[in-house]
Structure 1
Amino acid sequence: MIRILQKDNRLTKALFAIIIGAAVVTMVITLVPGIFDNDATTSGVYASVRRPGIFGRLGESEDIPTAQVNSIAERQLQSQRLPDFALPFMAQRVAQGLIQRAVLKQEANRLHLEVTQQDVRNELRTRYAQIFFPGGNFIGEEKYKQLITSQGISVQDFEKDVRDGLLLDRLQSMITGGVSVSDNAVREAYRKQGVKVKFDYAVVDGEEIKKSLNPSDSELESFFKNNAARYASAVPEARKLSYIAFDASNLPGGRPQISDADIQSYYNQHLAEYKVEAQVKVRHILIAVPQGADAKTDAAAKAKAESLQKQVKGGADFAKLARENSDDPGSKEKGGDLGMVRKGQMVPEFEKQSFSTAAGQTSDVFKTQFGYHFLQVTEKQDERTRPLAEVKDSIRPLLEQQKVGGAMQDFANKLSAEAAKQGLAATASAHGLKVQTTDYLGADGVIAGVPDGSSMLSKAFSVKKGDAPASVATGDGFAVFQVDDIRAAHAPAFADWKSHVADDFKSERAPQVVNAKLKQLADRAKVLNDLKKAAAEEKVTVKTSELVGATGTVPDIGSMSGPASVAFTLPQGGVSGPINLGPNGVVLVILDKQEPSAEEIAKNFTKTRDAMLNQQRQEVFAVYVTKRVEEYEKAGAIKLNKQAAAPVQP
């Protein structure tokens, strides 16, 4: 139960990212026209939102800090793995979501909606139970604070976000509470989505079409000339470099040596890192007491716990009793074992008993917010500092890496300075090294003789020809380089680029041929009223699907919710028109069509109704949000810092 909290758990971090993201950015709608016309000039404030009208002028406004916008935008950028240049776009999207959120909070306050601290506690206990209450036990105040602050947010801000989220949930429930769908609409919706079809389909394969195209040289030359702009920079910029590469074996005086004194010094300076907290290994049995239970229920639970504790004291098998009686689902199957527990991980009552009970002993029965427990300590480890002898072997390679890395960096700086004055050749000769020269390389090229030349190429494409030599890391060493020559991006000669031109020609022509062939196939199939005959004439393969629904997939077609969904609108025996699926396309004929039975509709009625209600509520609330934001903007209740919110160019 507690092991998830004893290590760096990726799931926990992911859940926190979701919590924070969901709690901050509620939705993103296109920017409201004119919203940048007002100006909130307060330093560090991206936008300011107040209620419209006289009450809004007298009341408090809500400021949206620029730092908050940028912080969330950067998180979103990282989570979606987008390039850095997309940050301004992401910042505007995040800001718009925060503005909408601020407007909704003003509206919730206007409607006198409230969220208490107890509501927040209940939310943490229910929605976030796996994070903060694994196995029903609170992780402890210190761990709670640590988990939240490790995500770059304060406890106060986190709980405020949770409170705001609850407030907006209540607002949404109020606005959409009257949304309903009729029983007939639900049945009709499921009838449509429950239809299943089986069909023959003729596949026009775009890749096969592409392979069959055989343009002449004159066609390719004409295509090359007509697309001159496309090929104007087809041959990318290339650069020629000279460089001196070295590793630790080339260091003057050899590799730096690590002495016992170095290790002792490092150990003394990092004693805190080798401190091991006191911990105990415990197992427990919980007899749960529901919240709000009456005295009789409470007394019965206590009596059961005391009875089990006496059995353990009398020599009964603790693990067997835990598996048969404990109400802790996270530990009962493990005989009540919670593993090693440190301070700050359990609720106070449990922690006190764990650390005050001697190893090998069983505690008295005690009560927590979850019910009655008793525990047994199977192992105790006092707080200690790991001795130097125990960690020495891990310190030495760390210091070696630091010293060697520092020495190589210093040597690289020295070579760079000398090469700037004397040139690469003279510098290399003075240190017994060799200058190497590359051919013309693109930004994604490979530098021979260097384990990792990516940093050198990246830096080489950011400097000018003739700039002073620069140093870069190369994986297991360093290099000092300079750019000898630059060959600008340019258009290739047709003869040199013919194979590329042929690929481009085929890629552009193939979809046209596919569409023409699809239309001809569909028209012919309808005339013959026979898809297989038409396909045979066009030399196209015909396949047969299984009985498939709207959420199913079919080979060569993919999801039936895409363009092929037209199949569900056709009658049995009906032939479709051309269905374009990107590079490929199909024409199909319906062999069998089955609608859901009354029993199936009834069985799925509740699920379908809930999905329809949820969708309609979202649509209604989206309209509400849009109207409120427009009202606030027209009333001048949304003020933006023009500099912070300046539109960006794609």
Structure 2
Amino acid sequence: MKAMRSQMKVIMWIVAVAMVVGFGFIITGTGGNLGKSQSKLAQGIVGEVDGQSISLRQYQEIYRQNLQNYRQQSGGEPDEATAKQIENQTWQSLVEEMLLQQAYRKLGIKTFDEEVVSIIRNSPPQELRGNENLMTNGVFDIQKYHAFISHPQSMPWLLDYEIQIKKQLPLQKLRLQLVAGIRVTDQELKEAFIDKFDRVRASYIAIPLGAFYNPNQEISQDRIAGYYQEHRSEYQAPERANLEFVAFAHSPTEKDLQAVKDRIGEIYQEARTPGADFAELAMTYSEDPGTTEKGGDLGFFGRGQMIPEFEKVAFEMAPGKVSPPFQTQFGWHIVKVEEKKTEQGKPMVRARHILLRIKASEETLADLRIKSDIFNDAVKEQGFEKAAAEQGLEIVKTGFFPRGFYVPRLGSMPELVNFAFDESQGSVSPVLDNGQSYVVARILDRQKKGIKPLAEVEQLIRSKILMEMAKAEAQAMAQNLRSQIANPGELEKAAKAANAKLETTGEFSRADFLPNVGNQNEFFAAAFSLAPGTVSGPVATDQAVYIIRVDSHNPINQELFNQEAGKLEQELIQKKQNEAIQNWYQSLQNNANIRDYRVAGM
């Protein structure tokens, strides 16, 4: 019983996987000015979803859990950018959970104790089904499982499992509602079968568009303006903001770097003292939260599990030895090897370490904050450009960006996004912190949802016109080459005369990817429309113009269809179900009033 419990993990019920496939998304904040954000935070509210609050306490608790998970998985402390990413993942998960809970209430989805009990008793998680302690003659024994869940010592695991079921069961019910009635028609099944199993083999000559693309070719402004007018609908843009900012990077000074190096040297001398307790030193000095409470103990690890610099030191040392300080991307380390062994023919090391991170000191950060405050005050009196010039600071422009989490050149700064879209043009932000820099920003401009101005897309249009010109030249060359091919057997001769390479493919389907061709483009349409032994006219794609000869065609047959139809139908149903779920959630998110009151440094 004890051996089995030691293997237990928190079980995520299997239906969760089907529910959340494809649920990668970015929550778009919908407002709340900076002053309001600060006011809400003072009330312990970090955000709102359709008027329902997300508490700061809840946010911080989940963030700490996610941070600890990262430390356990990576074996180290996250850098500032990763820590910021963990913050935003925490926010996204809380918003997602709140949206789902609101949906459950609207749709009348409930979970009953009888359902949970039935699942616990009759649907053991897959991890337990493979546990040898619950098997009889190599087969999972439900009676042993019932005995296990009835044992008082199994109560902690059972409570975890119950919590997960109660969380995931509504997802399954929601999913069943969303996908009810989704079917695959006979025509859809036939088309999917043809796409996957109808196969041809071809030879071709490719004339790359790049050979005719001339970036220095002059294009008249009238032609660019005409293209813009004809394709205005392609340049739709959401509401966007444009900022300029000055950043005061949290960079350690030479003094900071030397201080860390000196400190790790002092700790090393202490660790070398006869009778020194390395574990106690790690608990006192190490800045690796994942191992500090365990006296720096990393447990056993094999090659490839640690970063190369760390691995090299650990595997070269003898048990009982303490390494001199060495530096990695995480900071300065001292390692003590406790023991070594061989497991399944592979060397393993158990080691402890002390980590001091390389970072800006509190003194340095305080100086940077003072400098950023001085600049912010100067801006109010002198203006942004003059204040920056007098203090020798670089002004950086973000360019236009839509509302979301991320600000170009600054990364994730939801509080700055709220400022950019809620304050008026010309407004200057207070000093903000994205974990990497103190930032002071000014709103240069804001554009309403609509067509991007010509000036913004002019270079893009110019490139498209140049590519159209290149394609026209490549098509003309291909047409001339095709006129020299009287029969399919002359394709090789034509390629040689044009100093072009004749390429051949293996068998491919409509759904495959071909090197130098791509996938699901005009090449595929032409190849599957030609009879074996025939040659196409010029076939243009975004990469090249091709002349194609189909060498063989392996058509589908009814016997193969009968064999594959059932499996293919299930794949199509799963795909349509996932699309329905994603579309539903996207609509739910787009129609929600989501407010993000977070500020950096929580």
Greater C-alpha radius of gyration: 1
What TM-score results when the alignment is normalised by the length of structure 2?
A: 0.45
TM-score (norm 1): 0.42
